[in-house]
Structure 1
Amino acid sequence: MTPNYEFAGTANWRDDWKACLPECVDAYEPCFILFRLNTITEWVLITFVDDRAPVREKMLLAATCATFKSEFGQCYIEHEKHVTDQKDLTLDSFESWLKAKTELGPMSEVERELHNAQQERAAIAHAGPQHMKGVAFPVDRNAEEALRKLAQQQLSFVQLSVDTLNEAIKLESTLDSLEPTALASKVPRDKPRYTFYNFDHTWEGVPQKCTLFIYSLPSSGSSIKERMLYSSCKGPFLSAAQNQYGVMITNKMEVDARDDLSEKALLEVIHPLPVEAPKQFSRPAPPRAGPRRITKV
């Protein structure tokens, strides 16, 4: 999307409307129009689609409308209006439409309930974001120091837990060196944990180093609240581990009590086997082609 027209605006939105609309709109080009009324959170979204516009451009505007509103922020859009003629973009036409929308006439009980429900949804939309991006718990000082040492290759194994009472991420254990065969015994299968492991190995004759993040979440043995907190904290915690503490995560694993954590399983995660292309079906030879199938003695 590219901007076609911009206007800084003044304190009087009616004067701004007269100065911009409908002259700023091309005759047959569909577009989105964002116009601010009184406050920074009171915007009007106008989708202008002329009836004589090409069908392809109409379809493109309709297909990108939901994405456009999501990127701009649904909570900032106070009113939406669909216009198919430039005459409907005049100030008189817009004010009459706005007055008819804001001033409600006599309503039945069902219409009043629907209107109240719509107002409640609008209030929730203005209150905050539309979706939850995760819970960022603070990281304990000991855990911060262990993550920095892990990033500097001073530690081989770092395991952390989420303290549900104090709402923080705490350090459980660290090891200077750990063999891959002993990793399974260090990851508990009855409690959720965040585990970092510096895996030094040799692949095709070349020594390699990689950092694995293992998210162990048992299917039973932990409360629903505990599992939800581990799942919600994982995204913000990994972002902080990479950006703030310098941990370069090569691969991520999510395991439960039944999954394998042997050295072979780690190698399959780091170096997955190539997927063979499906073989094409070989059609049989048609009649009277190929070698004879019946021989006479």
Structure 2
Amino acid sequence: MACQTGIRANAALRNALNLGKQAKLRLIKIVVNNEEMTPNYEFAGTANWRDDWKACLPECVDAYEPCFILFRLNTITEWVLITFVDDRAPVREKMLLAATCATFKSEFGQCYIEHEKHVTDRKDLTLTAFESWLKAKTELGPMSEVERELHNAQQERAAIAHAGPQHLKGVAFPVDRNAEEALKKLAHQQLSFVQLSVDTLNEAIKLESTLESLEPSALASKVPRDKPRYTFYNFDHTWEGVPQKCTLFIYSLPSSGSSIKERMLYSSCKGPFLGAAQNQYGVVITNKMEVDARDDLSEKALLEVIHPLPVEAPKQFSRPAPPRAGPRRITKV
């Protein structure tokens, strides 16, 4: 591994990388200039990544200027990192770029990079050349049963890694307008039931269904047990003679029936989404539940979550009374 130079990303590059992670940029070209990594070219792009590729590459690349190119295919976790180093470029610049590669990937986040490609000729940056390389990379040759199992395990690990950085608190997906309106109505007690889903393709929180009133006995039938969902339920009830209003958040995550990436995204989005629901839309969550296909969602189960039984304090062990004082007893054998 090349020795790292200590060259870091400047403020402009950090801003560009953040925009890229929000899917606001399609392409970012990075060069090493004045002992720092800086963006040299940015392209917002359209909805079609192939048209964007043909519009930018290889025209934005200079044969005498080594650079990193980040190109987003579809989602925020499908970035291609291209290291372009032409043979005609100055030796010092080629060495600087090679020694900065690990630092750059650390700055951007390895989990966002789906493919890496090293290019030494601008001809290899055409869309036709890239698609041929990508096809050859993704096609599988003949494999034994053991090799197939190892490959499937590797794919599952990659799906978990690309669902989002594990050290971060969560992934904040935007909430669509219908879901925002439903959450505001829920906060003002105009709705009793609001259910939302994570659109993994468009990376957004979307509204699934709403109800103005829902009896507790019918709640279980409204929560699907074969796919993950976020559910809010305004539970009006009486406890010990006192009417009470509670807002429950139910996170349903089935053990089967959904992909690993889908389950990871639901888990990663939950924290930021709940923060937005409470801080931006005014939802006051009194209790949270996490259920799978086997858990009970009856009225009794809801009451046990809201009003748990008091836990009895452990009883202290009472020592036996010491023997009474008196003359020493002699036991005859």
Aligned to 2:274, which of 230, 233, 238? 238
Mean CA deviation greater in 120-129 or 262-271: 120-129
Structure 1 gap ranges (5+): none
- Work out the CA distance in 2 between the residues paired with 1:287 and 1:257: 59
Tell me how far 1:284 sits from its aligned partner. 3.9
Tell me how far 1:56 sits from its aligned partner. 51
- Work out the CA distance in 2 between the residues paired with 1:221 and 1:284: 58
Tell me how far 1:133 sits from its aligned partner. 2.2
Mean CA deviation greater in 35-44 or 255-264: 35-44
Q: 1:73 to 1:225 in 2, by over 3 A?
A: closer
- Work out the CA distance in 2 between the residues paired with 1:48 and 1:6: 16
Tell me how far 1:148 sits from its aligned partner. 0.6
Tell me how far 1:272 sits from its aligned partner. 1.1
- Work out the CA distance in 2 between the residues paired with 1:176 and 1:219: 30
Match of 2:263 in 1: 227
Mean CA deviation greater in 133-142 or 61-70: 61-70
- Give the TM-score, by structure 1 length: 0.54
SS at match of 1:3: strand
Mean CA deviation greater in 68-77 or 232-241: 68-77
Aligned to 1:19, which of 51, 55, 62? 55
Structure index of larger Rg: 1
Q: 1:64 to 1:143 in 2, by over 3 A?
A: same
- Work out the CA distance in 2 between the residues paired with 1:215 and 1:281: 42
SS at match of 2:43: coil
Q: 1:20 to 1:30 in 2, by over 3 A?
A: same
Q: 1:271 to 1:60 in 2, by over 3 A?
A: farther
- Work out the CA distance in 2 between the residues paired with 1:95 and 1:17: 11
Find out whether 1:74 has 2:110 as its counterpart: yes
- Work out the CA distance in 2 between the residues paired with 1:126 and 1:248: 32
- Work out the CA distance in 2 between the residues paired with 1:44 and 1:111: 26
Mean CA deviation greater in 121-130 or 45-54: 45-54
Aligned to 2:195, which of 133, 142, 159? 159
- Give the TM-score, by structure 2 length: 0.48
Mean CA deviation greater in 119-128 or 183-192: 119-128
SS at match of 1:4: strand
Q: 1:291 to 1:157 in 2, by over 3 A?
A: farther
Tell me how far 1:246 sits from its aligned partner. 0.6
Match of 1:258 in 2: 294
Q: 1:14 to 1:141 in 2, by over 3 A?
A: closer
Tell me how far 1:218 sits from its aligned partner. 0.6
Q: How many residues align?
A: 297
- Work out the CA distance in 2 between the residues paired with 1:92 and 1:84: 16
Tell me how far 1:190 sits from its aligned partner. 0.8
Q: 1:109 to 1:146 in 2, by over 3 A?
A: closer
Q: 1:281 to 1:64 in 2, by over 3 A?
A: farther
SS at match of 2:233: strand
Mean CA deviation greater in 40-49 or 68-77: 40-49
Contact 2:164 2:268 in 1 (8 A): no
Q: 1:153 to 1:84 in 2, by over 3 A?
A: same
SS at match of 1:94: helix
SS at match of 2:302: helix
Taking only aligned residues, the RMSD between alpha carbons, in angstroms, comes to 13.5
Q: 1:45 to 1:152 in 2, by over 3 A?
A: closer
Query: Among the aligned pairs, what percent are the same residue?
Result: 97
Tell me how far 1:113 sits from its aligned partner. 33
Q: 1:2 to 1:277 in 2, by over 3 A?
A: farther
Structure 2 gap ranges (5+): 1-36
Match of 1:65 in 2: 101
Mean CA deviation greater in 229-238 or 287-296: 287-296
Q: 1:284 to 1:125 in 2, by over 3 A?
A: closer
- Work out the CA distance in 1 between the residues paired with 2:51 and 2:201: 56
Tell me how far 1:269 sits from its aligned partner. 0.8
Q: 1:203 to 1:292 in 2, by over 3 A?
A: farther
Match of 1:180 in 2: 216
